[in-house]
Amino acid sequence: MAYSDTEMSSRDELRALQDERLAETVARAYENVSFYRNALDDAGVSPDDIEGVEDISHLPFTTKEDFRDEYPDGMFAVPREDIRRIHASSGTTGKPKIVSYTESDLDVWREVMARSLAAAGVEPGHVVQNAYGYGLFTGGLGFHDGVEELGACVIPVGGGNTARQIDMLRDLESDVLACTPSYCLYLVEAAEERGIDPRDLALSTVVIGAEPFTDPMREEIEDALDVTAVDVYGLSEIIGPGVSIECAEVQEGLHVWEDHFYPEIIDPATGEVLPEGEEGELVLTSLTKEALPVLRYRTGDMTSLTYEKCDCGRTAVRMGNVTGRADDLLIVRGVNVYPSQIEDVMVDLDAVAPHYRIDLTRDGNLDRMKITVEYHEEFEDSPDELRDRIRVRLDEILDVTPDELEVVEPGAIDRTEVGKVKRVYDHR
């Protein structure tokens, strides 16, 4: 069931709202943020040139580097006293990106998160166990506020604390679990170790996001817990979780809340806008943000868009699941490899557990790729034979074969209890 009427508004109504909001956002950013004023002046664009989304491609892109260069608050568009909250997103390198919210921004966030949860099938009265990290990460508080806004009950367990987490799931009969896909799989294992069959838990839905996962990984989660696993997407620079989500009814693509965030897909190499259906880098523009308006932000996330009507009745455009980022690309001996390609073939095999790591090293001038993967608890054949099977499948899809492929016993690969999982270790 839709949370708000806006979700069903006609494409024409939506477009009119976007046109109006984009023009306002550009004017506000130009007036209040010297970074945007300079960027638009350099591009020879005046805010008056932007009458609606039709004109958006005249605007320059904003990048992660811009956020870092403007650290800590160079991108803020309101005075300090109007800011009610600050979050930060720490990348693997460099300074964190600092993001801020006015009261009105927090209202928008609560609204889009409540819509997202409703789309995932969460209802007032449900108990939602929130295992996203609280603190500077946007996951914890973003979900927390959305659950309360929807009128459901939130258990703010946060990340980690796995033993207590499992007790809560069992004793409080949580209906919904919100966490990263990798942590969800870890909870399954930890429950089994404690003699609890995860399928006996009351859970009906898990809302997974914050990191990429492939379809076989999702199937593992759905099977192990007997739930519907719904993909939620978002990023701190735009708001946090709640930029888009799958509807539980159809689960084919994530509805982008387009009255607040305008999506485009570009060719990451040329910056050219790509037509509907083509895969490229997602670019997002905030349409209502006050504290931190963001124009044409290059997310680095690879996906595509479809405007086809969804059977759930929501009119918002859908983006495909993000299985990788433009900068995930590994170049091994000159050949392009995406980690998601490797995950897709390996995890699809029943004998393989959804835990793996990829290590890249350099031997003289030569790149070496090692893949380590776990076999499933129930797997009883020889790991050597499994290794040969995986190798054949990898050979079919990759243009470069791993130099080493190790099949290890269940539990041998380190698990991530807090934060986002890391699967690729580039030691080169």
Beta strands in 218-296 (DSSP E): 228-235, 240-246, 254-256, 261-266, 280-286
Q: What's the alpha-carbon Rg for the chain, to the nearest Å?
A: 22
What minimum distance in Å lies between the beta carbon of 238 and ligand DLL?
9
Site string for ligand DLL, 66-105 (x = CB under 6 A): -----------------------x----------------
> Is residue 325 involved in binding ligand DLL (CB under 6 A)?
yes
What minimum distance in Å lies between the beta carbon of 234 and ligand DLL?
4
DSSP string, 305-346: EE-SPPTT---S-EE-----BGGG-EEETTEEE-HHHHHHHH
Nearest residue to ligand DLL by CB is 209
Q: Which helix (H) or strand (E) holds 192?
A: helix 181-193
Per the structure block, which two tokens stand in for 257? 């809340």
Site string for ligand DLL, 239-258 (x = CB under 6 A): -xx-----------------
> Is residue 268 involved in binding ligand DLL (CB under 6 A)?
no
Site string for ligand DLL, 355-394 (x = CB under 6 A): ----------------------------------------
The residue from 83, 206, 322, 371 that contacts ligand DLL (CB under 6 A) is 322
Of residues 198-237, those binding ligand DLL (CB under 6 A) = 209-212, 231-236
> Is residue 416 involved in binding ligand DLL (CB under 6 A)?
no
Encoded amino acid at 66, one letter: D
How would you classify the pairing of strands 404-408 and 366-375? Answer: parallel
Q: Which is nearer to ligand DLL, 106 or 196 (CB)?
A: 106
Crossing angle of helices 162-171 and 181-193, in 10° steps, is 80
The residue from 35, 36, 132, 356 that contacts ligand DLL (CB under 6 A) is 132
Neighbours of 364 (CB within 10 A): 5
What minimum distance in Å lies between the beta carbon of 223 and ligand DLL?
20
Q: Which helix (H) or strand (E) holds 86?
A: strand 85-89
Taking a C-beta distance cutoff of 8 angstroms, is the pair 229, 208 a contact?
yes
- Of 293, 220, 299, 221, nearest in space to 256 by CA: 299
Site string for ligand DLL, 287-306 (x = CB under 6 A): ------------x-x-----
Residues lying near ligand DLL in the complex (CB under 6 A) are found at 89, 132, 138-139, 209-212, 231-236, 240-241, 299, 301, 322, 325
